[in-house]
Amino acid sequence: MSFGTAFNLFVAFAAGAAILRIGVAMLRGLARPVPEPPPAGELRKVKITYRCSLCGTEVRMTIAPDEDPTAPRHCLEDMDLVAPVE
């Protein structure tokens, strides 16, 4: 066997081993159970934007006690949920 053939075999074996390791790591990541939601009262990250229908003021909520918080009030009215662009 020549040096070029041996080198090609080594590269092919190393690439195959790397692809196998990455595939197994991805499958292990998918096999983990979904973490339980945080306990009640603990703040959660959210990304919700509200707009006041009377004056046009916009508010972005980034942390809330639950995933579906009540709308804040502005100008003595509940603010409207703004649909995300994405």
**40-65 confidence digits (pLDDT tens):** 777 888 888 999 988 988 889 888 88
pLDDT band at 14 (very low <50, low <70, confident <90, very high): very high
Q: Round the average pLDDT of the chain to a whole number and report it.
A: 86
pLDDT band at 84 (very low <50, low <70, confident <90, very high): low
DSSP string, the chain: --HHHHHHHHHHHHHHHHHHHHHHHHHHHHHSPPPPPPPTTS-EEEEEEEE-TTT--EEEEEEESSSSPPPPEETTEEPEEEPP--
pTM to 2 decimal places: 0.50
Q: In this structure, which CATH number among 1.10.8, 2.170.15, 2.40.50, 2.20.28 belongs to the domain 44-82? A: 2.20.28
Domain ranges of the chain: 1-32, 44-82
Distance CA 77, CA 52 (A): 8
pLDDT at 9: 94
Per-residue pLDDT of 30-39, as tens digits, reads 888 887 877 7
